[in-house]
Structure 1
Amino acid sequence: MDAKELLKEKAGYILSRLMGSGGQYGEIFYERSRICRMHLEDNRIQKIQWGIDEGVGLRLIKDGNTYYGYTTNITFENLMELAKLVSRGEDHGPIAIGKIYRKSFNPVLLDPDQLDLSYRKEILLRANDAARRLGGRIKQVTAVLMDKTRDIMVINTLGERAEDLQKRVVFFTEVVASDGQQLQRGYESLGGTKGFEIFEEKPPEMIAEIAARRALLLLEAKPAPAGSFTVVMSAQAGGTMIHEAVGHGLEADLVQKGLSVYAGKLGERVASPLVTVLDDATLEGLNGSFGVDDEGVPAQRKVLIENGYLVGFMYDRMTALKEGKSSTGNGRRQSYAHIPIVRMTNTFIQAGDTDPQDIIKDTKKGVLVVKMGGGEVNTVTGDFVFEVMEGYLIENGEITYPIKSATLIGNGPKALQDVDAVGRDLGWAIGTCGKDGQGVPVSDAQPTIRIRSLVVGGTEVIS
């Protein structure tokens, strides 16, 4: 009998033991993951990681606290002993069985589980060749391909059982270019809940060339200006700002702890009337999508900010229980070895109805951000600092020249209040979101937006 079948048959006994000393909620979380990661550098494959990880976590929520244990030894005797340790009791408690059953999966056309390592190697070599074809100034090409199949099952004391099979592919290329005096870096990524058909939509050559051209462009770029500027953020920039400077502050655990700038502001206007922010795990094929979250709750579409007004937060079961609400399907965990916490999925600013080119033409002097880099955010205050990987100066409605070494310094809520134009386009980016020592796959997006004023950190002062 395999592990899943064992859990289905014996879940009632395990959960009853888990509730032996009382509690509001208990669950069994099963996960079996197959992962492959291949790394290319210096024109050859440097590293290949392949493996299978399988385990079970038991969680008990009691008196507002979480008790958790996990194991890779999936036997009935071991799980009963683990349930006793987590519950800290010898008795059995009441549970519900067989009330709701959910099963989902994301379909793929080219299943990574059916393709060998040579296919993956060819993808990376194609990317390497494409980047290096752009000339001798390309000094280093790094390409990484990761694919993962994740089979999860949640059985809880509410009588729910949910299963989800998730297949995901992530690919990125990083290129370093040099003119003999300086080194510049370009980066581009691709990913989602898809199979290798993702490369038929966007070939690896395309991703590599974007990264390489970005590095070459920066060799010709002028030092970034310093001061306060109108900032136009292209849809190509992805939703880094909305994810980092806004999204985390809308996660209910931070709100309940008073660690969010949005705490106590439900129903208030927190952004420009042009701004609507959503989190939606139901969007097909995106990196943060799934059928059910890591607590067995179905994926949902949530409106968080509507026409500038704060209308909702993201909840998992724990935070929802504290407020007498229902989970919004945002309970996520890195693996069976971690407890679920509130996390974003696919978070974005909804597209408007303005032509992006008209936004640029209507900007007298400003900075156009085409690609964001890394950054830091204080969720309590909303203050942020972000690197601009690719940016340009706008003068009299025209894009004039590329700039380098720029940073954006501001405050998330203030930046949203200062949005005075929203484009009708929408551009997605992928990432791994880190929180409380856990990483989970996400996507974020925004249309082209214009922010009236942000501080641009640079080295040139322009009057």
Structure 2
Amino acid sequence: MLSKSIIEDIFFEALASGGDFAEIFMEDNFSTEIATVGGNIERGMSGRDFGIGIRIFSGLRSVYAYTNDLSKDNLINITRRATQAIKENKKDIVVNFDKKVIPVDHPYRLLPSKVDFTKKMEFTKRAYNAAKTYDEIISQVTVNYLDQEQNVLIANTEGVYVEDKRVRTRMLILVAAEYNGQIETGYIGPGALMGTEFYEKISIEDYAREAARNAKTMAMADYCPAGNMPVVVDNGFGGLMFHEACGHSLEASSVAKGLSVFSNRIGEKIASDLVTLVDDGSIINSWGSLGVDDEGMKTQKNILIEKGILKGYMIDKLNSRRMNMAATASGRRQNYRFAPTSRMTNTYIDNGTSTKEDIIGNTEKGLFAKYISAGSVNPATGHFNFSLSEAYLIENGKITKPVKGATLIGNGNKILQDVDMVGNNLEIGQGYCYAGSGALFIGAGQPTIRVKTMTVGGREE
């Protein structure tokens, strides 16, 4: 990592042309990825990515530069070139790294870099064998293993100097099933912010069989009928619906510019009384967690909506200036090549009081969405669409036949108001989010919830 004296020299150079804030983000990242198809290695890669990003503010203006040449002369030179975009009056500066930040501790025991490659291959083979032998209908199994050790140093002219070590591991299992010439897939991707001891805490085989069950069920399913109906979304990664439909519209990157349906609405009732929406990057060992955010702020629990009332946004440092509101430890980036902006960590609907059985039993006719596979949203309007990788009809208060090809279409503002039952079985799933500051690890979760009416897209077989 860089010495404090070199960082001070960068800061003095950065502010010499009138910048009023400077920050460095230094990263040393080790990662492994193994892709297997049919139990055989298709691609294996281990690598190291090392570099630094330098960011400078002048009021609401921001410039960002990055490099993997950490020589002092180069760092000073690119800083000088970056400040040419500002050209303000010189500011006096005193740099004291006296703002103590203690990262949230996410313990790990087995560093992935200390685990032999053959052991990692064994994990993938266990998943492959469990999925492939689940049923003769299973035609293909793809298993990807990945791990990461990301060491970061973040320092800024507000006195922050903090290091954080992020150790992650995850397995992605994709299973294909063929029935009557139709191929459907099932997918599951368990992961955590911890070392490879994670695989001692879960059953790889159970996860693989679940992906296989999903694929088989959908291969043999009829097509989903279209129409407006109540929709029950299961717990866990069903929370992706609210991540996409509402979460992005609560990020300061859109709120600060007035591009969100929720801009300037703090204190307003925007959702059902049953809805409390939280973003929390401090959940111990959770996939979307961090010790500090990528701007050096200790992660925290942010209540966005409380019993239907909009309480706050996810705010990064630059947008906190635009909004005149405090940052919320929501500044994130994929790596040193990206300037940070406001992004989600672990976002979830909090527990309610109903049971899953109550919710199903109180739904005469509707759709049960077990797994959501993907979605998109326009933050300016709140309009979204999601595809379901596993769904069932609900008839007379019971889950009946599986249906495939289902999509959910709606508006985030409206579904928040249309949630009329919330379960007590909160679970958070693991995923990725792609936006302006790159691809990020995120958690999305909820208990089982019911939306009283949604537009369901489908087709008759």
1:312-357 CA deviation, whole Å, 9 max, x = no partner? 0110000112233221000011111110111000000001111111
- Aligned-CA RMSD value: 1.5
CA contact (8 A) 1:103 1:164 kept: no
1:149-194 CA deviation, whole Å, 9 max, x = no partner? 0001111111111111110112110011102421011101111201
1:271-320 CA deviation, whole Å, 9 max, x = no partner? 10000001001101111101111110110110000100111011000011
Supply the distance in 2 between the matched residues of 1:308 and 1:167 (Cα, whole angstroms).
35
CA contact (8 A) 1:279 1:303 kept: yes
Shift of 1:62: 1.1
2:9 corresponds, among 7, 13, 29, to 13
Equivalence for 1:317: 317
Supply the distance in 2 between the matched residues of 1:395 and 1:52 (Cα, whole angstroms).
53
Secondary structure of the equivalent of 2:226?
A: strand
Equivalence for 1:258: 258
CA contact (8 A) 2:332 2:437 kept: no
CA contact (8 A) 1:275 1:306 kept: yes
CA contact (8 A) 2:338 2:437 kept: no
Supply the distance in 1 between the matched residues of 2:90 and 2:161 (Cα, whole angstroms).
23
Supply the distance in 2 between the matched residues of 1:283 and 1:437 (Cα, whole angstroms).
22
CA contact (8 A) 1:15 1:95 kept: no
1:3-31 CA deviation, whole Å, 9 max, x = no partner? x1x33232211101111111221111111
**Does residue 443 in structure 1 map to residue 439 in structure 2?**
no
1:94-124 CA deviation, whole Å, 9 max, x = no partner? 1331211335452112221210111110000
Secondary structure of the equivalent of 2:315?
A: coil
Aligned-partner residue type, residue 139 of structure 2: K
Shift of 1:360: 0.5
Equivalence for 2:58: 62
Supply the distance in 2 between the matched residues of 1:93 and 1:295 (Cα, whole angstroms).
23
CA contact (8 A) 1:17 1:92 kept: no
Which residues in structure 2 correspond to 1:96-107 (within 5 Å)? 96-104=95-103, 105-107=105-107
Shift of 1:64: 1.1
Secondary structure of the equivalent of 2:206?
A: helix
Equivalence for 1:39: 35
Equivalence for 1:370: 370
Comparing 188-197 and 143-152, the one that deviates more: 188-197
Equivalence for 2:403: 403
Task: Call closer, same or farther: CA 1:137–1:167 in 2, change over 3 Å.
Answer: same
1:358-406 CA deviation, whole Å, 9 max, x = no partner? 1101111011111001122111111111111111111111111111111
CA contact (8 A) 1:356 1:425 kept: yes
Task: Call closer, same or farther: CA 1:242–1:255 in 2, change over 3 Å.
Answer: same
Shift of 1:92: 7.8
Aligned-partner residue type, residue 10 of structure 1: I
Which residues in structure 2 correspond to 1:116-195 (within 5 Å)? 116-195=116-195
Task: Call closer, same or farther: CA 1:266–1:186 in 2, change over 3 Å.
Answer: same
1:73 corresponds, among 69, 73, 82, to 69
CA contact (8 A) 1:186 1:212 kept: yes
TM-score (norm. length: structure 1): 0.96
Q: Aligned pairs, how many?
A: 457
Equivalence for 1:26: 22
Shift of 1:258: 2.1
Task: Call closer, same or farther: CA 1:215–1:251 in 2, change over 3 Å.
Answer: same
Comparing 225-234 and 202-211, the one that deviates more: 202-211
Supply the distance in 1 between the matched residues of 2:90 and 2:309 (Cα, whole angstroms).
49
Which residues in structure 2 correspond to 1:218-229 (within 5 Å)? 218-229=218-229
CA contact (8 A) 1:95 1:158 kept: no
Aligned-partner residue type, residue 299 of structure 1: T
Equivalence for 2:93: 94
CA contact (8 A) 1:102 1:163 kept: no
2:47 corresponds, among 25, 41, 51, to 51
Supply the distance in 2 between the matched residues of 1:236 and 1:323 (Cα, whole angstroms).
33
Which residues in structure 2 correspond to 1:265-276 (within 5 Å)? 265-276=265-276
Supply the distance in 1 between the matched residues of 2:264 and 2:97 (Cα, whole angstroms).
39
Aligned-partner residue type, residue 84 of structure 1: R
Secondary structure of the equivalent of 1:339?
A: coil
Aligned-partner residue type, residue 101 of structure 1: K
Aligned-partner residue type, residue 27 of structure 1: E
CA contact (8 A) 1:18 1:92 kept: no
Equivalence for 1:327: 327
Secondary structure of the equivalent of 1:97?
A: coil
CA contact (8 A) 1:17 1:91 kept: no
% identical aligned pairs: 37
Supply the distance in 2 between the matched residues of 1:93 and 1:128 (Cα, whole angstroms).
61
Task: Call closer, same or farther: CA 1:335–1:178 in 2, change over 3 Å.
Answer: same
Supply the distance in 1 between the matched residues of 2:326 and 2:175 (Cα, whole angstroms).
45
CA contact (8 A) 1:100 1:160 kept: yes
Shift of 1:68: 1.1
Shift of 1:237: 4.2
Supply the distance in 2 between the matched residues of 1:346 and 1:182 (Cα, whole angstroms).
36
Aligned-partner residue type, residue 151 of structure 1: N
Aligned-partner residue type, residue 136 of structure 2: G
